[in-house]
Structure 1
C-alpha cells in the first residue's frame, strides 16, 4: 500500500456556521451577541461584568474552536492569545475589541500578572475578555487575584456533544466540503478513533485529501487504511 504523508495536526478555521450547538445553545447565542462593531467594543467604558466570559470544560470539547470562531468573525479587532504567549500580547490597545485567552489556567506566573493587568484595563477602558480553562474558577490553581477576576464575569460550562450530535456535525462538515461520506464511515470513525471533535474533524479533512490523492471513493476500507497509516507514522 502506497504511503501518503498525512497531516493530522492542523485545524480547519472555525466559524459559527460550522459549530453544532448541542447543549451549548445559550452560550453560542451569548457569544454571537458580542460580535458587534469595533467602535462599540473598544470605546464603551463600563464596569459591567457581562463583558467578561469564562468558558470551562475538559480538553477536546470545543473551547478553542469557540475562540477561533470569534476571532474569525471579529477579524483584525480580535486578539487570540495562547498559554505560551509572550507578555507583550497582553498589552491593552483600543485597536483590539475582543481579547481571547485560551487555556488561561496554563499561563506561567509572569503572564498571569499580565493577564490580571489586562483584565483591569478592559474593565476601565472597554472591550471584552473571553478566556477558557479546564475547571471552573473556584477550582483553578493559579494567582488568587486573577482567579478571582475570572469569577467576576459570566461563567459557562462547555458541554460535549452526544454521539448523534457528533455524527450530525461531521455530516454537516462533509456536505459543506462536497464530500460523499456514508453514515457507516462516520459511525466507525466515532467508535474506532479518538472521540473528541477536533480529532474527528482533522480525520475528516485527512480522509478527504486521502480520497482525492488515491482517486478512490470514501469507504470503510479507505478509512481503515488511513487510521492504520496514522498508527504506523506515530
Structure 2
C-alpha cells in the first residue's frame, strides 16, 4: 500500500486507546467459534477478512474494539475507525491507515449511499488486500441489504466471511453487568441488577455509562450497590419511580 499524502493523525476520528470493558473475555453469548475467528484475524493468524452483522446492541463495536486491543497487546498495530465519524472525508481517513496491519471499520450502514465514501472504501479494500492488511467490517445488515450505490463495493464485501450477532436478552445483559462490575472491583447485589434491568434503558452502551456513574457514587460513599442505593442515586430518573 503506497503512502498517500496524509493529514495530521489528530484530525482523524481514530481510537488510540481501547476501553478496558471492550475485551473478548467480556463478550457474552458469541456464536460458536466467532471469538477465535476474530482473534485470529486480529493477530495475523488468518487471512480471512470478516464482516460482523447485527442489530444495534448486538456487540459489533465491542468485538471490533476487542480485536484492536488484542492486536495491540500482541505488539501488532491496529486502528479502529467509526465510519460515521469519517463520513464526507473517507478517503482522507483511510489513507492515513496505509501501513496499519489490522483495521476495524465499524458501521458500514452509516455511510452506505454516499458515493464518494463508497468509492474510497472500494479503493481502500483493494489496496489493503494487495498489501496484506487485515480488515474487520461491521454493519447492521448484510451487503446485499445495504443501500450501496457501488455494485463493485457490494461484491467485495460479500466475499468476506460473515458472522451474525444477535442482541442480548435480559440474562445476557445481567451477565455483562456482572462481568463489568467484577472488572471494576464493584460489589453489586443481584437484586440491584434486576431492579436496573426493569427500570432503565437496557442497551449495553447506556448500561455501561450507568455502571461508570454508579461506580463513582459507590466509591465516594463506600457502599455496595443495593436497591436502596440505586433509589438514592437515581432518584426519579428511572421512569418507574421507586417501586
TM-score, length basis structure 1: 0.80
Residues 46-125 of structure 1 mapped to structure 2, 5 A cutoff: 51-75=48-72, 77-82=77-82, 83-85=84-86, 86=89, 87-91=91-95, 95-107=99-111, 108-125=114-131
Distance 2:94 2:50 in 1: 17
Q: Is the 8 A contact 1:90 1:118 kept in 2?
A: yes
Partner of 1:17: 25
The answer to whether residue 189 in structure 2 is matched with residue 182 in structure 1 is yes
Q: Secondary structure at the match of 1:34?
A: helix
Residues 107-186 of structure 1 mapped to structure 2, 5 A cutoff: 107=111, 108-143=114-149, 144-186=151-193
- Report the CA distance between 1:26 and its aligned residue: 2.0
TM-score, length basis structure 2: 0.77
Partner of 2:212: 205
Query: Per the alignment, do residues 101 and 35 of structure 1 end up closer, same or farther by CA in structure 2, a change over 3 Å counting?
Result: closer
The structure with higher relative contact order (CA 8 Å, sep 6+) is 1
**Unaligned runs of at least 5 residues, structure 2:** 1-17
- Report the CA distance between 1:95 and its aligned residue: 2.7
Q: Secondary structure at the match of 1:54?
A: strand
Partner of 2:200: 193
Per-residue CA deviation, residues 68-87 of structure 1 (Å, 9 max, x unaligned), is 11111222621211122132
Partner of 2:229: 222
**Unaligned runs of at least 5 residues, structure 1:** 1-10, 42-49
Partner of 1:4: none
Query: Per the alignment, do residues 146 and 92 of structure 1 end up closer, same or farther by CA in structure 2, a change over 3 Å counting?
Result: farther
Query: Per the alignment, do residues 35 and 132 of structure 1 end up closer, same or farther by CA in structure 2, a change over 3 Å counting?
Result: closer
**For this pair of structures, how many residues does the alignment match?**
211
